[in-house]
Amino acid sequence: MSATEDNLGAALRDYALDTLAQADLQLARAGAWQHDGVHRARKALARLRACVELLHKSPLSTLSLERRLRGFAHGLSPLRDAQAVLATAKCLGKDDEKLQEIWRDLARELRQRRERVLGAALASDPGFSAHRAQVVQIRGDLTRIAWTRLLAGDVQRALKRADKRVRRARGPARASTGQEPRHRLRRRSRRLLLQIELLRGITRDESRPLAAAAARDSLREVLGKALKRKWRKRVVDDLGWEQDLRVLRRALPARASSMSMRHVFSALRCELDDAIATSNDRIT
């Protein structure tokens, strides 16, 4: 490998292009695999956005690309939510036989709703062709960036920014049970965790020893030797479960029209309260 390719910027470039290709591959899935494909494509886009934000404190930063990626991911959100509410409903009511039967019926309705949402999306964008055309545009944006000019100091400043944003979001999240401050903490925590995992992956790249050393030094300079990856992952997962419960509640009828549905809403409220308490114990 040439000296110009053994640097942190080149490693990030290759990761970005590979991750974008993964998102495109998932959107190309057909039939019963489309729901999972959308879910995996969104995960790939989250990883890509985390990678691009490592440029945020460098002269290479491009806000237009960040906006394009955000719009691309948000465009798939209704499909993701339709899948999430079904998966969440399947997890509930397991300890209550009466509730379990109600949730089973609701899950059937939510599955039909998921199919309608996907059908509407494909009717307006057959085969996700418009989404996949965006992939081509984003790939062009990525290849025009002079990645090899990226300095390790730029990455460290971006990591410090991400870490500070997480720390600032913790107080408002702990002080509130509302969705926005807690979801903000989840988004920022997940972005930082993805950046940590990305850089850790580069540290294990034996074909790029200089890039590996730069990634290792960047992590240690900003976060120290203890990256607390497991704790960070649990925080993201706990807050994610809260969010899924909220999305499920919005997908159900606005008002309880029967005793059984009032029972469901009450149980859902208790589940959310427990989730919030668990998250607060973790982020304190």
Total Cβ atoms within 10 A of residue 68: 16
Q: What is the pLDDT of residue 30?
A: 81
> Of 208, 212, 186, which is closest to residue 199 (Cα–Cα)?
212
Provide the CATH topology of domain 8-283. CHAD domain (1.40.20)
Residue 69: which residues within 8 A CB-CB, separation 6 or more?
Answer: 45, 48, 49, 52, 138
Q: Is 146 left (phi over 0), alpha (psi -120 to 50) or beta?
A: beta
Angle of helix 77-91 relative to helix 97-124, nearest 10 degrees, comes to: 160
Total Cβ atoms within 10 A of residue 226: 8
Q: What are phi and psi of 256, to 5 degrees?
A: -80, 120
Structure tokens at 51: 């990678």
Residue 8 has pLDDT above 90, yes or no: yes
Q: What is the pLDDT of residue 257?
A: 67
Q: Confidence class of residue 92 from pLDDT cuts 50, 70 and 90?
A: confident
- What is the residue extent of each domain of the chain? 8-283
When pLDDT is averaged across residues 100-125 and rounded to a whole number, the result is 91
Full-model pTM: 0.94
pLDDT tens sequence across 173-183: 999 999 999 99
Q: What is the pLDDT of residue 134?
A: 94
Q: Confidence class of residue 1 from pLDDT cuts 50, 70 and 90?
A: low
